[in-house]
Amino acid sequence: MAMTATSGTSEQGILDRIPPHVEQVLRQADAICFDVDSTFCEDESIDEIAAHVGVGAEVAAMTHQAMGGTVTFQDSLAARLAIIRPSLSVLTDFLSIHPPRVSRSIPDIVSYCAQRGIQVFLVSGGFHQVIDPLAASMGIPSDHVFANRILHNDAGEYAGFDPTCFTSRSGGKKDAVVHLKATQGFKTVIMVGDGATDAEAKAPGGADIFIGYGGVVHRRAVEERADWYILDLKDLLAALQATHTD
C-alpha cells in the first residue's frame, strides 16, 4: 500500500516518510518521467480544449473514465477527439488564450535534476502541439517529449491522431520507458503521475517505481498502486535533495 506524504514536507526528515525501496531508487535515478496533465501542469489539456469548443462536460466525463482505468486509453482518446475535432486554428487559438499552467515546484525540480544530471522526460497522453512549446520554454529537449500528435489535412481540419505514438494506447507509457532504457542506456527510471496510465509504466523493463501525485486530482485506485503517493510536489523535490547530498 502506498505511503502518503504530508504536503510541504521539508528536506529534513523526508527520508523517514519514504519507503526504503523508493529511497534507493531516488538515489540511483538516471531519469524521471513526468505525466503532464494534472501533474507537470495543473491543467487537463484535452478537457480544456473541449471546453474551449463547447463540449467540455461530455469530454471531461470520458477523461475521468480513462484516468481511472475503466476503459482503454486508445478507445477513450479516439472518442474524445472525435467529439472535439480540434482544427489547427482551434489549437492555435486555444494556446493563445490558455497557456499551460506549470505546477508549483516543477521549475525547481527541473532545475535541480539538471544540476544533478538526472534527465527529465515528459511522457503524456496529451498532445505535442500543446506540450512541445512548454518543454522548450523549460529547457527540456524536444526528444525528451513522448506525447500524442493530432493530425490535420492541408486545410488545417482535424484528420485524426498518430496511432504510432507510444502514448496513444494503454500500456504506452511503459513502452516509452522501455524504449528509453533501450536507447539511452538508463538503468533506473522513475515515473510520476496522477493516473492509471502512469501506474502502468511500472512493469518489467519499464519504470522502477511509480510515484503517484494527487495534488490536482486524487484517485484512490492510483494511490493504491503507487510506491509512494504525494499531495505536494515539494515532497519530491525534498526527497531528491535528501538523496543527493554529496
Q: What is the pLDDT of residues 202-240, one digit of tens each?
A: 999 999 999 999 999 999 999 999 999 999 999 999 999
CA distances (Å), origin 83, targets 74, 86, 152? 14, 9, 15
Q: 118-173, pLDDT tens digit by residue?
A: 999 999 999 999 999 999 999 999 999 999 999 999 999 999 999 999 999 999 99
**For residue 132, what is its C-alpha cell?**
512541445
CA distances (Å), origin 107, targets 40, 120, 137, 179? 9, 11, 11, 26
Parallel, antiparallel, or unpaired: how do β-strands 158-161 and 150-152 relate? antiparallel
Give the residue, 5 or 214, on which the prediction is more confident.
214
CB 122 within 8 A of CB 37: no
**For residue 194, what is its C-alpha cell?**
496522477
Over 60: is that where the pLDDT of 70 sits? yes
- Over residues 6-16, the mean pLDDT reads 68
Q: Give the residue numbers annotated as catalytic, written as ranges.
A: 35, 37
CB 105 within 8 A of CB 16: no
pLDDT, position 10? 57
pLDDT, position 12? 59
pTM above 0.85, yes or no: yes
- Three-state DSSP state, 170: coil
pLDDT, position 9? 55
The b-or-e profile of 137-162 (16+ CB within 10 A means b, else e) is eeebeeebbbbbbbebeeeeebeebe
User: Residue 92's CB: how many other CB atoms inside 10 A?
Assistant: 12
CB 26 within 8 A of CB 208: no
Question: What is the dihedral sign for C-alpha 187, 31, 25, 22?
Answer: negative
Residue 6 confidence class, pLDDT cut points 50, 70, 90: very low
**For residue 185, what is its C-alpha cell?**
542506456
